[in-house]
Amino acid sequence: MGNVVVKEKVDFSEEVNLRHFNLLRSVGRGSFGKVRIVERRDTKKLYALKYISKAECIRMEALTNVFRERDILEDVDHPFVCNLRFAFQDEEYMYMVIDLMMGGDLRFHITRRRFIENVIRFWIAEMACAIRYLHSQGIVHR
């Protein structure tokens, strides 16, 4: 997937689609999807765009899991959870626009350096709050 260049004016009153975003850098890759940082054209707000190949999803018999993820993300709203902001599709991909959480993942940071106890306490408190919220919504993470 390359950069999207839109010459014509984008109508932001229509249903959200890929043309509403400037595609920035790639930040991740999964079994059948990728994640990029995107910027919404009208607000300049940054998000993470997860795009999933429909063909790969079908080939790997993962449609149920992807739909479950989308349904769960649609229902949650918490500051320590990546919340779903938009979802749409085209012929080739399903797209989920979620909150961008900058700073990398915990595994990355653990391999790079040691942390002081207060930082670790803070992170554990954030995770505990997020997990408590998810459990209150009937969601259990694997």
Do the Cβ atoms of 66 and 50 come closer than 8 Å? no
Mind listing the pLDDT tens digit for each residue in 40-52? 999 999 999 999 9
Tokens of 40: 């919404």
Mind listing the pLDDT tens digit for each residue in 22-40? 999 999 887 778 999 999 9
Mind listing the pLDDT tens digit for each residue in 92-136? 999 999 999 887 777 777 888 788 899 889 989 999 999 999 999
Mean pLDDT of the chain: 87
Q: What is the pLDDT of residue 113?
A: 78
Judge if 38 and 51 occupy the same domain. Answer: yes
Judge if 27 and 76 occupy the same domain. Answer: yes
Burial class of residue 13 in the structure, from the number of CB atoms within 10 Å of its CB (0-12 exposed, 13-18 middle, 19+ buried): exposed
Judge if 39 and 82 occupy the same domain. Answer: yes
Judge if 54 and 96 occupy the same domain. Answer: yes
Say which CATH number the domain at 14 has: 3.30.200.20
**Is 9 flagged in the annotation as binding?**
no
Judge if 94 and 117 occupy the same domain. Answer: no
Cβ within 8 Å of residue 131, ≥6 positions away: 141
Judge if 54 and 118 occupy the same domain. Answer: no
Judge if 74 and 119 occupy the same domain. Answer: no
Percent of residues, the chain, with pLDDT higher than 90: 65
Q: Provide the number of structural domains found in the chain.
A: 2
Range of the domain at 80: 1-102
Judge if 129 and 97 occupy the same domain. Answer: no
Judge if 5 and 54 occupy the same domain. Answer: yes
| Nearest Cα residue to 31 out of 4, 3, 69 | 69
